[in-house]
DNA sequence: GACCATACCGTCTATTCTGGACGATGCAAG
DNA sequence: CTTGCATCGTCCAGAATAGACGGTATGGTC
C-alpha cells in the first residue's frame, strides 16, 4: 500500500487496464504492441513486474486463476483510477527525444548515402503500416489514440523528407 | 581487453572523444549537453562508467592526473578508432521512438486544451533554442552535426503543428 | 490414446541506465 | 583567511532492457 514512484510505464499499465476493464499482463502485451507500444515500447517482462508492483501499491486489484496457468488478472482500484486521473490532469511539459540510431551515426560522420537508404527503407515500411492502421481504425478509435497515431504518421513523413534530403545531396 | 557489448552510448563516447581528440568525462558531459544530448541524452554518471568500461576493453587510452582532482583523460586507441569506423559503416535500420509523455497522456484521454498549451510552450522554447544554435553555428559545424540539428528543428516544427491542431479543434 | 507441433503464457538473470544525493577540490572576491 | 560558487567525481537504490528458459494448453496425426 506504500506508494512507490510512479513512472510513465506505471501510467501506461493503468491506462491500458482502464481501457480493457480488466486484463492479464499477457493481454496487456498484445494491446500495447499494436497501439501505445509504437511510440513507447516496453519489455513484456516489465508488464508482469509493473502490474505486481501496482497491485502491491493498492492501485490494481489482482486475482489469480485457481488451476492451470494460474493467470493473474488485474483491474483498477479506486486508488488506481484516481492516480490515473490525477496524472492526466497535470499536463506534461517534458519533451521526448528522437533517440534515432541513424541520426547518431549521421551526427558522428557516417556516410550519408547508405545510411539514408537504410533509414528510408525502414521509415517507409513503418509509415505504410501506420497508414494502413489509420485507414482501418480511424473512425472507431478513441480520439486520443487516433491523434497519437496521426502524430506517428506525421513524424514518419518528416523522417522520410529528412533522409531523402540527406541522401539527395550526397554521394 | 575482453570486448563487452557495445551500446549506442559506447559509440557516443567514442565519437565524442574522436571529435575532441582527448577529453575527461566531465568535458564529454559539456560537449554532449549542447549537441548530441539534444536527441540522445544520458546521465553524467554514465560517462564516467562508460569511459572506464571502454578503457578496460582497450578501446580507450586512459591517463590520470598526478595531483589534485586526479582527472582521468581518455583518448581513442587504434582498436577504438576501428570499432567506431566499423559501427559507422553499418547503417542502422532501427527506428527511434517518440516517447513523448504528452503524447502518452493524449493517448490515454487527457484533456486536449491544457495539454496542447503546455506542450506548445515547451516545444516552442526548444525550437527557438535550436534555431538560435543553427544561426550561430550552421556554417562551421561538421555536416553530420548540422544535419542532426536540422532534423531536430524539423521535428520540433512538426510537434508545434501537431499540438496546434490538437488545441484548435478542442473545447 | 500416445505423439508432436505450435501457440500461449510466465519467470528469471545479468547487465545497463536513471535520478539524484553526496562530497571533495579549486578559485576568486571581500 | 574565509566564504561562496563553480568545478568535478563517486555512489546507491531502484527501474528498465535483452533475451534465455521453461511450463501449459490445443489440436491434429498416426
For the stretch B79-95, pLDDT in tens is 999 999 999 999 999 99
Q: How high is the pLDDT of residue A69?
A: 73
For cell 496546434, the residue is B164
Does position B171 have pLDDT exceeding 60, yes or no?
no
Q: Is the CB of B33 under 7 A from strand D?
A: no
pLDDT category at B102 given cuts 50, 70, 90 is very high
CB contact under 8 A, A92 and B98: no
CB contact under 8 A, B162 and A142: no
- With CA atoms as reference, report the closest residue to B120 among B164, B168, B170, B171: B164
CA atoms within 13 A on the CB side of B28: 31
E strands, A20-133, are: 22-23, 60-64, 72-76
Q: How high is the pLDDT of residue B65?
A: 76
A128 in contact with B at a CB cutoff of 8 Å? Answer: no
* Backbone torsions φ then ψ of A118, nearest 5 degrees: -60, -45
Give the C-alpha separation, A77 to A18, whole Å.
10
Q: Which of A9, A95, A111 to mutate to test the interface with B (most CBs of B within 10 A)?
A: A95
The pTM score is 0.93
Give the C-alpha separation, A79 to B101, whole Å.
22
Exposure of B68 by Cβ count < 10 A (0-12 exposed, 13-18 middle, 19+ buried)? Answer: exposed
> Which nucleotides in chain C lie closer than 7 A to a protein CB?
8-13, 15-21, 25-26
Q: In the 8-state DSSP scheme, what is residue B38?
A: G
Give tens-digit pLDDT for B29-69. Answer: 999 998 999 999 999 999 999 999 999 999 999 998 776 67
Sheet strand arrangement including B22-23:
B22-23, B72-76, B60-64
What part of B 68-87 touches A (C-beta under 8 Å)? 84, 87
A6 in contact with B at a CB cutoff of 8 Å? Answer: no
* Backbone torsions φ then ψ of A62, nearest 5 degrees: -115, 135
Chain B CB contacts of A133 under 8 Å are: none
Contact status, residue A126 vs residue A157, Cβ threshold 8 Å? no
* Backbone torsions φ then ψ of A2, nearest 5 degrees: -60, 140
Report angle CA A116, A122, A124 to the nearest 5 degrees: 95
Sheet strand arrangement including A72-76:
A22-23, A72-76, A60-64
A106 in contact with B at a CB cutoff of 8 Å? Answer: yes
Give the C-alpha separation, B46 to B143, whole Å.
27
Give tens-digit pLDDT for B117-142. Answer: 999 999 999 999 999 999 999 999 99
A113 in contact with B at a CB cutoff of 8 Å? Answer: no
Give tens-digit pLDDT for A42-80. Answer: 999 999 999 999 999 999 999 987 766 788 999 999 999
Exposure of A86 by Cβ count < 10 A (0-12 exposed, 13-18 middle, 19+ buried)? Answer: exposed
| pLDDT tens digits in sequence order for chain A, 171 residues long | 556 789 999 999 999 999 999 999 999 999 999 999 999 999 999 999 999 999 999 999 999 877 667 889 999 999 999 999 999 999 999 999 999 999 999 999 999 999 999 999 999 999 999 999 999 999 999 999 999 999 999 999 999 999 999 998 765
Dihedral angle of Cα B61, B62, B66, B67, to the nearest 10 degrees: 140
Paired with A60 in beta bridges are A76
Amino acid at each position: 500500500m506504500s506508494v512507490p514512484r510512479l513512472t510513465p510505464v506505471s501510467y501506461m499499465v493503468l491506462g491500458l487496464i482502464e481501457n480493457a476493464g480488466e486484463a492479464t499482463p499477457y493481454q496487456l502485451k498484445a494491446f500495447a504492441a499494436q497501439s501505445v507500444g509504437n511510440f513507447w515500447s516496453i519489455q513484456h517482462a516489465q508488464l508482469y513486474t509493473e502490474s505486481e508492483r501496482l497491485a502491491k501499491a493498492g492501485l490494481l486489484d489482482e486475482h489469480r486463476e485457481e488451476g492451470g496457468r494460474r493467470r493473474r488478472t488485474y483491474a483498477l482500484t479506486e486508488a488506481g483510477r484516481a492516480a490515473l486521473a490525477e496524472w492526466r490532469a497535470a499536463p506534461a511539459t517534458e519533451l521526448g527525444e528522437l533517440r534515432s540510431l541513424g541520426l547518431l551515426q549521421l551526427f558522428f560522420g557516417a556516410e550519408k548515402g547508405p545510411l539514408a537508404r537504410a533509414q528510408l527503407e525502414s521509415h517507409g515500411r513503418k509509415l505504410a503500416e501506420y497508414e494502413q492502421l489509420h485507414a482501418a481504425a480511424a473512425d472507431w478509435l478513441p480520439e486520443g489514440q487516433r491523434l497519437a497515431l496521426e502524430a506517428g504518421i506525421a513524424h514518419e513523413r518528416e523522417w522520410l523528407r529528412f533522409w531523402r534530403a540527406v541522401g539527395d545531396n550526397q554521394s
